[in-house]
Amino acid sequence: MWRFIGIRLLQAIPVILVVITVTFFLVRVAPGGPFSAEKAVLPEVKAALEAQYRLDLPLFQQYVAYLGDLAQGEFGPSFKYPGRSVNELIGAGLPVTAELGLYALLVAVVIGGIAGVIAALKPNTAQDYIPMTAAMIGICMPSFLLGPLLVLVFGIYLDWLPVSGWGDIPGDKILPAITLGSAYAAYIARLSRAGMLEVMSQDYIRTARAKGLPEWQVVVKHGLRGGLIPVVAFLGPAFAGLLAGSFVVETIFQIPGLGRFYVQAAFNRDYTMILGTTVFLSTLIVLFNLLSDILAAWMNPRLRAQFGEN
Amino acid sequence: MSLLEVNDLAVSFVTRMGTNRAVDGISFSVDIGKITAIIGESGSGKSVACYSMLGLVPMPPGRIDGGSALFEGQDLLQMSEDQLREIRGRDIAMIFQDPMTCLNPFMTIGKQLMEPLLYHKDVSKQDARARALELLEEVGIRDPETTFDNYPHQFSGGMRQRVMIAMALINEPKLLIADEPTTALDVTIQAQILKLIADLQKNRDIGVIFISHDLAVVADIADQIVVMQQGKIVEGGDSEHIFHHAEHPYTKKLLAAIPADSKAPMPGEPETLIAVRNLCTWFEQGKGKEPVKAVNDVSFDIKRGEVLGLVGESGSGKSTIGRSILRLVPVTSGAVDFDGTDVTGLEGGELKRFRRRMQMIFQDPFASLNPRMTVFDTLAEPLLLHGIENRKSVASGVLKLMDDVGLARNFVRKYPHEFSGGQRQRIAIGRALATRPEFIVADEPVSALDVTIQAQILDLMQELGKEYGLTMLFVSHDLAVVRHLADRILVLYKGEIVEQGTGEELFERPQQDYTRQLLSSIPGRALLE
């Protein structure tokens, strides 16, 4: 078990290193720089600024110095928010984004899971086609379209829910969570449908029916566990994806989360901020993938036994 | 009055391709305290008949067209789903073919065992547990207290089938339906399970329907036998009648398919093709653990043109020996001399050249064929890879192979899933023959097949062996099958050879207890003598 986790963590190091390297050089290849949009400044001031942020060093030395900072857990100072470090900015945005991601995940699992299971019980009937068509639409619909639509219907026409904000008015977290979670709900619906279809055709389901159990017990007690393993394995990448993909929703609903800092940083060529957020998110993705793999393995008694031995 | 009386039962499957009558007006009965066996090959409707009475056939596509099934005077076919459910698992219980897949892998066996009891009867959890432990003891599970909370994968196939049986009996049903309960098991385990079912049935005086494709299996236990073919009962009666006065040609064919004779000894003194010396194949278990000695210091010769039988139960190392000779698993020590060259040391190109001269046929012809390759692709690949045919001549080479293994030429563009098990095994044999090998390892090539098909494939292998001048290592857990085909037989136990000789010698004068035990496990043995 620990060996497995250790190996996976070691494998993550080169992955993250590649992400850092590619991002580091890409942002610098992009035209413009952090200070190029400023009004004309004195050359001395510009030189001082560049010296402060190590921009006067050759590129490769900048890279090595940055890696050194990272090794100490320092993402460096932000170029555009003078006096604030990238660590602080991430620390400020993360709780909001994480909360939003969690609600969205909840929406995705509950709606997607139930829809998928219901569809799998009567395959190729209306009970299957209707939720699966909805899921297909959910996957195709980008959040920048779904968000404004939901706002239009529930915020303006029906006037049931607030149109923007985060934690100011009761109910203002509902629409962002649904907007962000719907695409993932659709994925989970398809995953759980496929998983349940597979499990419900297994011989042990027939055994359960031969015992005379009512159908709902057959599904819940004997079907769900195996059928939902693929969904659990998807949760890690899904949560990481939700965090990374939340900036559109944060922009639509005016939510002060990490995603907005990230997008602004890209426009501003805020090198350290872009890099910091990218490294941070990619580390999270690796970690959540590992977590969900462990959880999915844990649900399977056979794999659990193998883990125990190692 | 009979416990169960089935009259004129008819079941169809309605699909887009049309309506298919799976069970066509069959009638039979089961008496209290008696065993009725239903015999027939896959697709004969024997399982469908039993499942449909209990509402276990999905409808649609299934449809009951008529008839009645009176269980204690009440017609099962007229009952609502709720009424049927009350009977399932309480009055009528089932055991299925494959204990590997029929137990829920995510639930402890204790929980699965108690489930029917807790659902159908008003008992406390403690009482249910006590009852389950009692039953586990009775079906021969050692130390039930500690294994109660184990998962199915922690049991062997035979042990799982015992758990299945305990689960079926926990509510003391009046009728037990056993659907091929021993087909997936080794012969020795099969003999134990058959005895267990017969004992439990006598003690409890319950009725049993025993479904099987193999007449030999039910020879010792069945009171009544009905033989089914294509949805109809072709012959029925008490087992004395079926075994000694069978009239229908199909029944006679089933009887003839029970492998009986020994092969005639080989003439002359042929040269040795393969010499195995002190072969050891051990599998490391990780640090600090004893390696599994799958094959331990085994030596034997295979003569050119000989069929050598390798017999033993699961885990005896018989498959590993075959794989070691072909270098499909790493050999720990020892030598395998193939036509004067030690193959254990070969690498790269040299190994490839030898591989062409040695081929393997596997047990499961479905798993070992690539589902996305047509018969043509499957057979053409080795022909082209080893340069036996070129692009122009490959088509005729493939057709020749298909003729040899008895596959109709118009199947050439079909995929594996479109074939029956026997046909798939023919494809696999054709693929093995494609490289014109001198030596073939056949690893349980007929274990997954129905008996009548089994006999056909064995005949085919015998013919091809002669035609191609093949030397063969025939691996099987079934002594009867090996005796039919092999010139000499090695008996393997825990990775070591315990006895060897011709089929005749082993059957008439077995020297070792283990061989005697294997012999006594052959189903329907009494019938052969």
pLDDT higher than 80, residue B351: yes
Average pLDDT, whole number, for chain B? 85
pLDDT higher than 80, residue B196: yes
Question: B156 or B85, which is more confident?
Answer: B85
Tokens of A173: 């977290």
Looking at beta carbons, which residues of chain A come within 8 Å of B115?
A: 208, 211, 213, 221
CA distance A139 to chain B (A): 30
Judge if the upstream peptide bond of residue A123 is cis by omega within 30 degrees of 0. Answer: no
Over the range A45-62, which residues count as b (16 or more CB within 10 Å of their CB) and which as e? eeeebeeebebeeeeeeb
Q: What is the pLDDT of residue B528?
A: 54
Q: What is the pLDDT of residue B525?
A: 63
Distance CA A32, CA A42 (A): 18
CA distance A115 to chain B (A): 23
Give which of B96, B115, B167, B285 to mutate to test A binding, by max A Cβ within 10 Å. Answer: B115
pLDDT higher than 50, residue B100: yes
Question: CB distance B89–A217 less than 8 Å?
Answer: no
* DSSP conformation letters of B135-154: HHHHTT-SSHHHHTT--GGG
Question: CB distance A209–B153 less than 8 Å?
Answer: no
Which has the closest alpha carbon to B336: B283, B273, B270?
A: B273
Question: CB distance B89–A214 less than 8 Å?
Answer: no
The closest CB to that of B119, out of A212, A226, A302, belongs to A212
CA distance B89 to chain A (A): 4
The closest CB to that of A204, out of B87, B102, B116, belongs to B102
Query: Per-residue pLDDT tens for A178-209?
Result: 888 888 888 899 999 999 988 888 889 988 98
Question: B294 or A82, which is more confident?
Answer: B294
Please give the average per-residue pLDDT across A232-261, as a whole number. 84
Distance CA A117, CA A223 (A): 10
Which has the closest alpha carbon to B207: B48, B54, B1?
A: B1
Question: CB distance B105–A226 less than 8 Å?
Answer: yes
The closest CB to that of A203, out of B90, B102, B154, belongs to B102
Tokens of B411: 């199947």
Q: What is the pLDDT of residue B437?
A: 87
Q: What is the pLDDT of residue A310?
A: 43
Looking at beta carbons, which residues of chain B come within 8 Å of A203?
A: 96, 98, 101-102
Distance CA B510, CA B520 (A): 11
Residues of chain B above pLDDT 70, percent: 96
Residue B526 pLDDT grade (very low, low, confident, very high; cuts 50, 70, 90): low
Looking at beta carbons, which residues of chain B come within 8 Å of A222?
A: 104, 107
Any B CB within 8 A of A83 CB: no
Alpha-carbon distances, residue B50 vs A206, B30, B61, B250 (angstroms):
13, 12, 16, 22
CA distance B461 to chain A (A): 33
**Chain B residue closest in CA terms to A203:** B102
Average pLDDT, whole number, for chain A? 84
Q: What is the pLDDT of residue A307?
A: 61
Question: CB distance B94–A209 less than 8 Å?
Answer: no
The closest CB to that of B94, out of A210, A222, A226, belongs to A210
Which has the closest alpha carbon to B181: A227, A101, A39, A207?
A: A207
Q: What is the pLDDT of residue B264?
A: 59
Q: B92-95 and B488-493 as β-strands: parallel, antiparallel, unpaired? A: unpaired
CA distance A31 to chain B (A): 50
pLDDT higher than 60, residue B308: yes
Chain B positions with Cβ closer than 8 Å to A: 54, 56, 85-90, 93-94, 96, 98, 101-107, 115-116, 119-120, 151, 153-154, 164, 167, 286
Tokens of B124: 């406390």
pLDDT higher than 80, residue A43: no
Looking at beta carbons, which residues of chain A come within 8 Å of B286?
A: 309-310
B475, B443 contact by CB (below 8 A): yes
Distance CA B443, CA B318 (A): 9
Residue A106 pLDDT grade (very low, low, confident, very high; cuts 50, 70, 90): very high
Question: CB distance B115–A212 less than 8 Å?
Answer: no
Looking at beta carbons, which residues of chain A come within 8 Å of B164?
A: 207
Quote the CATH superfamily of domain B272-528.
Answer: P-loop containing nucleotide triphosphate hydrolases (3.40.50.300)
Residues of chain B above pLDDT 90, percent: 5
Distance CA B50, CA B67 (A): 13
Q: Residues spanned by CATH 3.40.50.300 within chain B?
A: 1-85+211-256, 272-528
**Chain A residue closest in CA terms to B53:** A210
Any B CB within 8 A of A164 CB: no
Question: CB distance A211–B89 less than 8 Å?
Answer: yes
Any B CB within 8 A of A210 CB: yes
Domains for chain A: give ranges and CATH numbers. 93-309 (1.10.3720.10)
B1-85+211-256: CATH topology is Rossmann fold (3.40.50)
Residue B516 pLDDT grade (very low, low, confident, very high; cuts 50, 70, 90): confident
**Chain A residue closest in CA terms to B58:** A206
Question: CB distance B286–A226 less than 8 Å?
Answer: no
The residue written with tokens 């995929």 in the block is B415
Question: CB distance A210–B286 less than 8 Å?
Answer: no
pLDDT higher than 70, residue A36: no
Any B CB within 8 A of A230 CB: no
pLDDT higher than 70, residue B17: yes
Query: Per-residue pLDDT tens for A62-76?
Result: 888 888 888 888 888
pLDDT higher than 50, residue A110: yes
